Every structure is written in C-alpha cells, then in structure tokens.
C-alpha cells in the first residue's frame, strides 16, 4: 500500500513541477501574443506615480527614492509616493531633496499592514499609472518605461517586471536560484497564454483607473491585485525588459520567513477572493490551481516518498545500517570544504522550503494572516 501511495505522490510531484511547465510552454508557443500597442504606434507617455510601501529606515528609503527618480522616464511625468506602514518606528517626515515637488510622504492607516500603506499611497497618487516598488531593490533605468509601454497593449491591466536575485557572496543557495529561474520562465509563458499568476511585488505596474482599495491585513498584494484584475476581464503581462535588482543578501532565515508569508498569502487569497477557485469565474483557473495550490502539497508528497524509501532501505540493508549511513551523511555535511558547504546549504535550503510550506498550511487552517514583514 505504501508503495502505491509513494508512486502516486512521486507522479504528482513530477506533474506539478515537470509536466505543468512543459504543457504551459507548449501552449504558449502556439498562442504567443504580440507585444505591439493596440494601433501599432506608441502613444504619449502617461503620468506615472511610483508607489513605495515600506517600513524601512530613512537612509534606505532615501536611496530607493533616488534610484526611482533617476529613471530614464521623463521627470515631468514621474513622481514618487512613499507610503509608510503605520507601525514604522523611524518614518521619514518629508522629502528634503532637490526633487521635493516630485516626492510625497504619507502614512498608512492603523492596523492595516502593507495593504493600508498601499491604500494611502494610491489615494495620494497623481499618475495615470501606478508603479509598485519595494525598498530592498533597485530598478534598471528603463524599467518604468518598459512597464508603462506594456500597459498600452489591448486588455492589459497590469504588468509584472523581472526580479534579479543578488549575486556573489550575497547570492542565495542553488535550490532557490533554480526555483526562481523556473518561476520567471513560468510567469513569462503564463502571460503568453493569458496572464501571469501573480506579479513580482518588487516591480509591477497597473492602470490607476483599475485600482480598488485593498482589504486591511492583506498579505499578498502582488497576488490579490492581478487575480482581481483577471476576474474583471483584464490580462496581466510579464515584461522581461523591466528589471529590478535585489540588494539584500538572502539568508536561510530570511527566505524561510518570506516563504511562510507568501504561501500563507496564497491561502488567504482563496479565503478572501473565493472566485479564484471557480472555473467558470476564473479564466486562468487551471494555471492558478497548478501553479499556486497544488504546490502546497509538495512537502506531503515528499514525506510519503521519503517514508517509502526509508522502509524499503531498512528492509534491504537493515535499520542499523540505514541509521549509520544517515549519521555518516550528516557528519560529512559538517565538514568545511567548499563543495560540502555548498551541498549543506542546498540541503538546508530545500528542507526549509518544505517546512515553510507546512507552516503556511497550518496558518491557513487556523486563519492566521498576520505575517507581513517589510
């Protein structure tokens, strides 16, 4: 019986992580959409408000705003709104730089988290297009222009940019780099078919006329906003040319907390926007279920496969030898050679992702949604 369940579990893992990308890639190649504007001629650039929701300190915020203001987008058509979370301990009161007329500082409503900060920022925005940014990244100079141009395409209500992870000593472990490469590829292919399932929270844009206030306590604006637009008949594009670069080092602890938050946010979305679960209402229902929901079952499928492997090996070589081999493997991982450090990092990173998924499902089962972190 365990063997059958293990085979089914392995089949599910391969379907979600292998078959689905293959299918969406094939469909995207068949129905790939063009990137030209509606009439084939670029229109005049609209006024854009870059919206930075943050809890960061003043120095970090200043560096981020200066990066946004250095965009190649025309200065007369770009302003910035810094929206502080209400619980920020060191908020910037005003912007005192040379571009003071282009920068506003506002504060979110009490007890609303990031969603309240975004709502306050959107109320203060003057632009026809909202570009969303986080404090821990830097935009490429052409990012705002690329996002804005994507919104000229017929039926496109929002557009996601591309996040580049830190490199060198600050680079994340190999499993995360591989995961993020797959994720970017999937989002591009999903956008070719209809819409990307979720946007990159650090870099995306939408038409301001389509903005609706976010519910207080929302965890994932970068999933709620695009899915709400899709349910309203809009499409969500993915723009490779619009790039943001991560400036912070990725640690196992930070990545674990981020993963718990994002996966909990997926379950919150299902509870707060249940239309996403209805095939007749959600035009990207197969993609949403496979990309976002079935992945949450991965650690349980992995656990079944591991249990089967342990039982099979124990039966073949004996429990004592299996325990000794496991202890030897753990001991080898403690050695300090560079290849073994990389292997240890990969093993720890992979385990933490699965633990984070279990933690997120527990949060969802209890309705615990207060997990937003800056």
Q: What is the pLDDT tens value at each position of the chain, 374 positions in all?
A: 667 888 899 999 999 999 999 999 999 999 876 555 555 555 689 999 999 999 888 889 999 999 999 999 999 999 999 998 877 665 666 677 677 789 999 988 777 788 999 999 999 999 999 999 999 999 999 999 999 999 999 999 999 999 998 776 567 777 788 888 999 999 999 999 999 999 999 999 999 999 999 998 899 999 999 999 999 999 999 999 999 999 887 777 788 888 999 999 999 999 999 999 999 999 999 999 999 999 999 999 998 888 887 777 666 665 555 455 555 555 545 555 555 555 556 667 778 888 999 999 988 888 777 655 43
Could you give the CA distance from residue 321 to residue 22 in angstroms, rounded to a whole number? 40
Pick from 132, 265, 292: nearest CA to 201: 132
Q: How far apart are CA 81 and CA 41, in angstroms?
A: 30
Burial class (CB in 10 A: 0-12, 13-18, 19+), 219: buried
Structure tokens at 59: 């120095």
Distance CA 159, CA 156 (A): 7
Helices 338-366 & 252-272, crossing angle to 10 degrees?
A: 30
183: its two tokens: 């994720």
pTM of the model: 0.86
The SS3 call for residue 216 is coil
Which run of H or of E encompasses 207? strand 203-207
The pLDDT of residue 113 is 83
**Dmax of the chain from CA atoms?**
74
CATH entry, 48-251, from 3.60.10.10, 3.90.550.10, 3.30.420.40, 3.40.250.10:
3.90.550.10
Q: Is residue 225 within 8 Å of residue 235, measured between CB atoms?
A: no
pLDDT the model gives residue 38: 56
Q: In what order do the strands lie in the sheet with 129-133?
A: 103-107, 78-84, 48-54, 129-133, 203-207, 156-164, 235-246, 137-139
* Cα separation, 331 vs 313, whole angstroms: 20
3-state secondary structure of 142: coil
- Tokens standing for residue 144: 């705002």
pLDDT recorded at residue 55 = 87
Number of residues that this document lists for the chain: 374
Structure tokens at 35: 């990137």
């Amino acid at each position: 019986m365990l063997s059958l369940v293990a085979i089914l579990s392995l089949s599910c893992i391969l379907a979600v992580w292998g078959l689905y990308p293959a299918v969406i890639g094939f469909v995207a190649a068949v129905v790939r959409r063009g990137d030209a504007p509606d009439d084939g001629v670029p229109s005049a650039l609209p006024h854009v408000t870059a919206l930075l929701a943050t809890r960061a300190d003043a120095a970090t915020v200043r560096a981020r705003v200066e990066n946004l203001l250095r965009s190649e987008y025309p200065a007369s058509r770009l302003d910035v709104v810094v929206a502080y979370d209400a619980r920020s301990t060191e908020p910037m009161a005003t912007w005192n730089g040379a571009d003071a007329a282009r920068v506003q500082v506002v504060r979110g409503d009490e007890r609303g988290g990031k969603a309240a900060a975004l709502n306050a920022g959107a109320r203060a925005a003057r632009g026809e297009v909202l570009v969303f940014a986080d404090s821990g990244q830097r935009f490429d100079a052409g990012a705002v222009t690329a996002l804005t141009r994507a919104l000229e395409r017929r039926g496109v209500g929002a557009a996601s940019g591309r996040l580049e992870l830190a490199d060198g000593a600050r680079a994340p472990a190999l499993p995360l780099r591989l995961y993020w490469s797959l994720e970017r590829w999937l989002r591009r292919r999903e956008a070719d078919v209809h819409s990307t399932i979720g946007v990159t929270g650090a870099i995306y844009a939408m038409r301001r006329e389509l903005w609706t206030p976010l519910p207080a306590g929302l965890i994932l604006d970068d999933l709620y906003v695009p899915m709400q637009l899709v349910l309203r008949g809009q499409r969500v594009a993915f723009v490779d040319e619009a790039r943001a670069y991560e400036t912070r080092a990725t640690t196992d602890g930070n990545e674990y907390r981020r993963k718990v938050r994002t996966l909990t946010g997926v379950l919150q979305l299902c509870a707060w926007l249940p239309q996403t679960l209805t095939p007749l209402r959600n035009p990207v229902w197969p993609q949403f279920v496979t990309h976002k929901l079935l992945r949450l079952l991965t650690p349980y499928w992995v656990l079944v496969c591991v249990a089967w492997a342990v039982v099979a090996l124990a039966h073949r070589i004996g429990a004592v030898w299996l325990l000794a081999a496991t202890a030897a493997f753990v001991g080898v991982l403690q050695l300090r050679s560079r290849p073994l450090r990389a292997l240890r990092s990969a093993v720890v990173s992979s385990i933490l992702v699965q633990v984070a998924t279990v933690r997120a499902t527990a949060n969802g089962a209890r309705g615990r949604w207060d997990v937003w972190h800056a």
